[in-house]
Amino acid sequence: MITTSQTTRRPARADTMLPREEMLTALRERDRSYDGLFYAAVTTTGIFCRPSCPARDPKPDHVEFYATTREALVAGFRPCRRCRPLDPEAGTPEWASRLIARVEADPAARITDASLRAEGLDPAAVRRWFQKTHGMTFQAYCRARRLGEPAANLSGGQQQMLALARALMLAPKILLVDEPSVGLAPLLVARTIDAIKQLKDHYHLTVLMAEQNFTQAIRIADRGYVIVHGKIAFEGRSADELNNNDLIRQFYLGM
Ligand SMILES: [Zn+2]
- Residue 116 to residue 98: CA distance in whole angstroms: 12
Tell how far the Cα of 57 is from the centroid of ligand 1, in angstroms: 10
Q: What is the pLDDT of residue 246?
A: 74
Q: Residue 7: its pLDDT value, please?
A: 35
Cα 48-13-161 angle, rounded to 5 deg: 55
Task: Provide the pLDDT for residue 186.
Answer: 76
Q: Name 195's Cβ contacts closer than 8 Å, sequence gap at least 6.
A: 161, 164
Contact 53, 22 (CB under 8 A): no
Q: Identify the segments of the chain with pLDDT beneath 70.
A: 1-16, 88-91, 148-156, 239, 247-255
Distance (Å, rounded) from C-alpha 43 to C-alpha 168?
A: 21
Query: Measured in angstroms, how far is the CA atom of residue 114 from the centroid of ligand 1?
Result: 33
CA–CA distance, 177 with 209 (Å, rounded to integer): 5
- Residues across the chain: 255
- Which of 53, 72, 220, 226 is flagged as catalytic? 53
Q: Which of 72, 83, 121, 196 is catalytic?
A: 83
How far is the CA of 46 from the CAs of 58, 73, 143, 151, in angstroms?
12, 10, 17, 11
Q: What is the pLDDT of residue 63?
A: 95
Q: Do 175 and 208 contact (CB within 8 A), yes or no?
A: yes
pLDDT at 48: 94
Nearest Cα residue to 109 out of 121, 117, 99: 99
**Strand segments (E) across the chain:** 39-42, 47-49, 63-66, 78-79, 174-178, 206-210, 224-228, 231-236
Model confidence pLDDT, tens digit, residues 12-66: 444 568 889 999 999 999 988 788 889 999 999 999 999 999 987 889 999 999 9
Residue 31 Cα to ligand 1 middle (Å): 13
- Decide if 142 is catalytic: no
Letter for the amino acid at 180?
A: P
DSSP assigned state of 35: B
**What is d(CA 53, CA 25) in angstroms, rounded to the nearest whole number?**
13
pLDDT at 153: 61
Cα gap 144→133, rounded to integer Å: 15
Q: What are phi and psi for residue 89, nearest 5 degrees?
A: -90, 180
pTM score, whole prediction: 0.45
